[in-house]
């Protein structure tokens, strides 16, 4: 429609919603890697070996979320070939970094998740550069990343603390209990610091119903 200002606002909201989901997911999985793996697998040796690898790999969740959204933005603005370039560069970074890092004594098996992290980080960074140069879209870092990150830190700290409190009840109860409480704390945090707005809610699937409920509960005006 030629509404560049509206398009940029929509892009910022899309990035923020993705960040609100991806940042706590990445940090939470990184911190809670061992408890989560202990639920899925009974072999303690395997869990001990895999949990530090998952802690590193989990950070890639954030960049995976960002590259998915930025790819869509570039394609929507008729720059559909640019994501191919960034993904090819990212794949090269993955292969080279994994090959080099796995061969370094002391790094070895950590090289694979680190390589994956570097791959997604590279693709996301290049996509943001393309968006800035080709589309003129510079994200509002405070609204899009800083507020969700701050809320996520509170969420992760609460999960870690509650896991320690519930650990006497067993790993399953402790992990699930910590996750449930962390989600509640996170939701409270994002509304208290206004990390999410009415407009952000309305763009979600079923956003009008969600906003109506929040409005009736006097959580959001």
Task: Please provide the DSSP assignment of 96-112 as one string.
Answer: HHHHHHHTSTTTGGGHH
Q: What pLDDT, on a 0 to 100 scale, did the predictor assign at position 56? A: 93
Q: What pLDDT, on a 0 to 100 scale, did the predictor assign at position 42? A: 87
Q: How far apart are CA 92 and CA 88, in angstroms?
A: 6
Q: What pLDDT, on a 0 to 100 scale, did the predictor assign at position 198? A: 85
DSSP state of 196: S
Q: What pLDDT, on a 0 to 100 scale, did the predictor assign at position 215? A: 85
Q: How far apart are CA 92 and CA 98, in angstroms?
A: 10
Q: What pLDDT, on a 0 to 100 scale, did the predictor assign at position 107? A: 87
206: left (phi over 0), alpha (psi -120 to 50) or beta: left
Q: What pLDDT, on a 0 to 100 scale, did the predictor assign at position 216? A: 85
Q: What pLDDT, on a 0 to 100 scale, did the predictor assign at position 180? A: 93
Residues of the chain with pLDDT under 70: none
Residue where the block lists tokens 């995976």: 64
Q: What pLDDT, on a 0 to 100 scale, did the predictor assign at position 211? A: 87
pTM over 0.85: yes
Q: What pLDDT, on a 0 to 100 scale, did the predictor assign at position 221? A: 77
């Amino acid at each position: 429609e030629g509404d560049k200002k509206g398009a940029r606002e929509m892009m910022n909201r899309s990035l923020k919603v993705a960040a609100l989901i991806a940042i706590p997911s990445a940090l939470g999985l990184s911190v809670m890697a061992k408890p989560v793996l202990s639920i899925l697998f009974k072999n303690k040796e395997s869990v001990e070996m895999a949990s530090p690898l998952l802690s590193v790999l989990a950070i890639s969740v954030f960049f995976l979320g960002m590259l998915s959204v930025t790819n869509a933005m570039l394609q929507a603005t008729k720059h559909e070939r640019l994501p191919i370039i960034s993904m090819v560069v990212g794949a090269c970074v993955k292969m080279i970094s994994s090959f080099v890092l796995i061969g370094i004594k002391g790094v070895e098996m950590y090289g694979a998740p680190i390589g994956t992290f570097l791959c997604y980080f590279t693709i996301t960074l290049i996509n943001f550069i393309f968006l800035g140069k080709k589309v003129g879209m510079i994200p509002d870092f405070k609204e899009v990343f800083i507020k969700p990150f701050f809320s996520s830190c509170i969420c992760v700290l609460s999960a870690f603390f509650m896991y320690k409190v519930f650990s006497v009840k067993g790993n399953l109860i402790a992990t699930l209990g910590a996750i449930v409480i962390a989600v509640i704390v996170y939701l409270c945090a994002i509304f208290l610091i206004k990390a999410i707005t009415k407009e952000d809610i309305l763009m979600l699937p079923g956003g009008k119903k969600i906003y109506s409920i929040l409005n009736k509960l006097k959580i959001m005006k």
